[in-house]
A and B are shown apart, each in its own frame.
Chain A
Amino acid sequence: MEEEEWNNKGGPGAGPGSGVWLGINGYPAPRAPRPHSLHSSVSPALLSSLILLVSAPALAARRGRQTEAMLTLLVLTAAVLLGAAPRSDAIVIYTGWERHALVGSDVRLSCSFFSWRWTSEDVTFSWSYRPDGARDSISIFHYTGGAPYVDNKGPFRERLEFVGNPARRDGSILIRNLDFNDNGTFTCDAKNPPDIVGRPSSVRLLVFEKVPIQAGVITGAIIGVVLGLLILVVAIYYLMRFLVARRVFNLSVSKHGKKGKGKEGSQQRQAGPSK
């Protein structure tokens, strides 16, 4: 049966865990691992300082030989952790994860890096572009020797501009007048000699026709109105109770037998039931 076949293929139960998320216009956005933002030398230092901070006051409060021994052990451990932590010379590059833009508009793709060394004069930035569905990427921008070189033959000729500041480790580019053909992955690779070992980082560009359907305007409006009405009703109820208790409003029966509300001043009427 068709249904059984489908179930055996690992039906809905297997869905969300192994899924692929799509962007706004339906192109798959594969999930690649992000570069680590915690450097391997920072976390042992943090850990050891944390241990010291937390335990030293507690130990210092108690005196005695045992606590002295424990304190020295603690300090030694911290020193070992700090000293043994490798100072990785890898450069870490940061770009965005995804950029959304309207067709015809401009988009700024940012790229910056972290490196333990000072920014050298030979710092280089390199952007390459791989269209959606293509296998190869082409190089569209290169900054080296203090001068930017933009694409003058490829798909971005006369549309690309360098808006970064290499001295501040910023290698961002600006692409003007976007088209649907510009959907793809842009990869930034930065090198800061002698710190050249690193993994390039990619940002996906998604170009679409109009601002995405404002999801949930009606939803939010309905929820807001209903909750607002609820709060209003509660507030009015408490207000009426407060006012009636203060005898500002007095529900009384008039001479002609009609029930009426009358606003009274400080005088209080003895006659007439008041709720």
Chain B
Amino acid sequence: MLKALSGICFLHLTTIFFLFWATIDDAWWFTRNQYTDLWGRWVMENNDDVWVYMDIPTSYRRDYLQAVQAFAVLSCLFAVFSLSMFVYQLFTLGKGQRFTYSGVLQLISCFCIMVALSVYTDHFHRDEKNGWYGWSYIMAWFGWLLTLLTGVIYIILRKRVD
């Protein structure tokens, strides 16, 4: 039981780590001399090793960008709520019962990051050929996968005799 517990906790912490990094680091979209998104844009002009931090240009659809920001932040929050709910339920749940609330919160977090990723993929950089998705974007997808996995595990898992 302890092994399963520590394994789940580790998985959950990895999830939180991925989600936070994806939300905070501005590395969703890369081009040759800039990496950008969600909060700001790093641009290297003149190829001279100086990175300049600029605001996201006004050509972006502001409301969609803010929606992506909001849902990314919400997914981080729900993942943290789910972890604290899991710890709480660990001590208060009766034997043989399921960690439903933690699972539900984790699945809400999964839903939020899925919404964020879908809106981002669909509305930004659709026609830009000379760029590629960065590590934050990929980490967000891994975060989605892990939240889905851990959410389902929590819903299926039963508390056993220690």
Contact = CB atoms under 8 A, between A and B. Distances in A.
Interface residues of A, number: 28
Indicate the size class of the contact surface on chain B.
20 to 34
Interface centre among B27, B50, B51, B74 (most CB of A within 10 A): B51
Interface in A194-235: 213, 216-223, 226-227
B42 A219 contact: no
Nearest to B54: A22
A222 B71 contact: yes
A219 B70 contact: yes
B53 interface: yes
Interface string B120-136: 00000000000000100
Contacts of B27: 12
Nearest to A25: B55
B114 interface: no
Given A213-B58, A223-B74, A22 B53 contact: yes
A24 B58 CA distance: 12
Given A6-B33, A216-B66, A219-B66, A19 B73 contact: no
B66 A217 contact: yes
Q: Is the interface of A mostly helix, strand, loop or mixed?
A: helix
A11 to B, nearest CB: 8
A14 interface: yes
B32 A6 contact: yes
A26 interface: yes
Nearest to B33: A6
Contacts of B55: 22, 24, 26
A226 B73 CA distance: 11
A216 B77 CA distance: 17
B66 A19 contact: no
Contacts of A26: 54-55
A57 interface: no
Given A16-B42, A213-B62, A218-B63, A9 B49 contact: yes
A19 B67 contact: no
A188 to B, nearest CB: 27
Contact of B50 (A18, A213, A220, A222): A18
A218 B64 CA distance: 9
B47 interface: yes
B144 interface: no
A15 interface: yes
B51 A20 contact: yes
B30 interface: yes
A91 B65 CA distance: 48
A18 B54 contact: no
B62 A226 contact: no
Q: Which 6 A-B pairs have the closest CB atoms?
A: A222-B70, A218-B66, A19-B51, A15-B51, A219-B70, A219-B66
Given A22-B53, A223-B77, 13 more contacts: A3-B32, A9-B49, A12-B134, A14-B49, A15-B44, A19-B50, A20-B53, A24-B55, A213-B58, A213-B62, A217-B66, A218-B62, A218-B70
